Amino acid sequence: MTVRRLSVYTRCLQQLEEDGVKTISSRELAERFSLQWAQVRKDLAYFGEFGVRGIGYYVSGLKAELQRILGLDREWQVALVGFGNLGSALFHYKGFGRQGFRIAAVFDDDPAKAGRSADGVPILPLRELPREAKARNLQLAIVAVPAESAQHVTETLVAAGIKAILNFAPGRIRVPKDVRLKGVDLSIELETLSFYLARGAR
Amino acid sequence: MTVRRLSVYTRCLQQLEEDGVKTISSRELAERFSLQWAQVRKDLAYFGEFGVRGIGYYVSGLKAELQRILGLDREWQVALVGFGNLGSALFHYKGFGRQGFRIAAVFDDDPAKAGRSADGVPILPLRELPREAKARNLQLAIVAVPAESAQHVTETLVAAGIKAILNFAPGRIRVPKDVRLKGVDLSIELETLSFYLARGAR
């Protein structure tokens, strides 16, 4: 099962919990959130222990288990590198904090930014990353710098002991085998829409 | 097959084409891009006509076919609503243009922004959307406004005839059945990383 689908199910269950729903079948879950039933059924079968025969799954129990698997049962200290338009937008993005991702330090070498702070979070030059990573227990990093700086920034993060990096800069970046790198390509999201528009136009 | 996977394959093939690779097997494709072979083999079997028995697939032919399916064989005129940090970051995001998505008009009611332009693209008040949508043949929209404005903005887009909307604002938004709405939740990307970190820590 892809980790992404686990995230999607977690959000659905969160929504159901807020709506006061106690139990749900895979079929209801699929219908309510426009997911493929066969897939949902197969995926959730892994979590049989949270199921009630003939009824479905306990919403809260299953949600808590998925959150535990996703590492969302704790708070992660995140480094954000790059405080331009995108970095600033990501810094203010509400969704991260809600899932337990706390941007604890921002790094940007722009002299107009470094040394200041944003909502109480320090903006520091990149050379301070090794010390801060240790002092603040930074475990994840978000890279929001121009493409030409991304490899250098990533190497600095890796040298500082960061093992998981979310990269918004376009292009290929190399990391050692023990480091997880995930690139975000926002145009993929638009393509799921153009697919439907193109299909309609055919 | 999910549309997202089509997008991923298209990017892999694009990369292979740039690297001068003419044909590739599903196994090589999976290995080279860290995908699941069983899945790749199953997915690409739909495109048997681009395959060569015992060798694999023609990279350029398969890529062109996937692009056609995804609607990437043409240019789409996109409306961007909201020109704050996130909107501005999305406006400058290089990946959209590369796949044929052209932000042709920006809408923002902030008097400090409306009436100006960015890289030659006009920034207009939202009330001008219906006229501009028609004049500029806007078919897709990106919503990058605060959560509390998102429903109103979406209704304005729908009334102007936009049939596909990519929403970055958090929270639930309602659209009529003939309109495709896709919400982007950036924290899902971080969760694929915390999953691996949490697994390593157990």
Per-residue pLDDT of chain A (202 residues), as tens digits, is 678 889 989 989 998 999 999 999 999 999 988 788 999 999 998 888 888 888 899 999 999 999 999 999 999 999 999 999 889 989 988 788 888 999 999 999 999 999 999 999 999 999 999 999 999 999 999 999 988 899 999 999 999 999 999 999 877 789 999 999 998 888 888 998 999 998 876 5
3-state secondary structure of A2: coil
What is residue B1's predicted lDDT score, i.e. its pLDDT?
A: 64
How many Å is the Cα radius of gyration of chain A? 20
Report d(CA B6, CA B69) in Å as an integer.
9
Out of B92, B140, B200, name the one closest to residue A194 (CB).
Answer: B140
What's the CA gap between B112 and B119, in Å, rounded?
A: 16
**pLDDT at residue number B201:** 63
User: Pick from B68, B166, B194: which is nearest to A193 by CB?
Assistant: B166
For residue B100 the two structure tokens come to 């044929």
In the numeric block, the tokens 């600033």 are attached to A88
Of A6, A72, A85, the CB nearest to B88: A85
Q: Is A195 on the interface with B (CB under 8 A)?
A: yes
Task: State the pairing for strand pair B180-183/B164-167.
Answer: parallel
**C-alpha angle B59/B63/B68, rounded to 5°?**
155
Tell me the β-bridge partners of A182.
A166
pLDDT more than 90, % of chain B: 69
Residues making up chain A, counted from first to last = 202
Q: Is the dihedral of CA B8, B186, A144, A73 positive or negative?
A: negative
Other C-beta atoms closer than 10 Å to the C-beta of B21 total: 16
Round to whole Å and give the CA distance between A37 and A15. 18
Question: Cβ separation of A93 and B194 shorter than 8 Å?
Answer: no
Q: Which amino acid is at B31?
A: E
Q: Kindly report, residue by residue over B89-116, the tens digit of the pLDDT.
A: 899 887 888 889 999 999 999 999 999 9
Q: What is this structure's pTM?
A: 0.80
Q: How far is CA B7 from CA A30, A128, A189, B27, B97, in A?
A: 23, 38, 9, 18, 15
Compute the nearest-CA separation of A80 from chain B (Å).
Answer: 12
**Where is average pLDDT lowest: A59-63, B64-68, B136-140, B146-150?**
B146-150
The model's pLDDT over B152-200, given as tens digits with 9 standing for 90+, comes to 999 999 999 999 999 998 777 899 999 999 988 888 889 989 999 998 7
Spatial CB neighbours of A197, under 8 Å, sequence gap ≥ 6? B71, B76, B139, B140, B163, B164, B180
How close B95 gets to chain A, by Cα (Å)? 6
Q: Flag if B197 and A139 touch (Cβ within 8 Å).
A: yes
Contact B70 A195 (CB under 8 A): yes
Nearest-Cα distance to chain A for B116, in Å, is 18
Res B164: pLDDT: 96
Element (H, E) at A82: none
A-chain CB neighbours of B100 within 8 Å are 194
Nearest to B113 by CA among B151, B82, B145, B153: B82
Strands A140-143 and A121-124: unpaired
The predicted complex's ipTM stands at 0.85
- Quick check: B174 and B153 in contact, CB under 8 A? no
Classified as helix, coil or strand, A139 is: coil
Residues of B in contact with A192 (CB under 8 A): 3-4, 7, 182
- Radius of gyration of the CA atoms of chain B, in A: 20
Q: Which residues pair with A117 in a beta bridge?
A: A122
**How many beta-carbon pairs under 8 angstroms link A with B?**
176
Coil/strand/helix, residue B95:
helix
| Residues 70-99 of chain A whose Cβ lies under 8 A from any Cβ of chain B | 70-72, 74, 76, 78, 84-86, 88-90, 92-96, 98-99
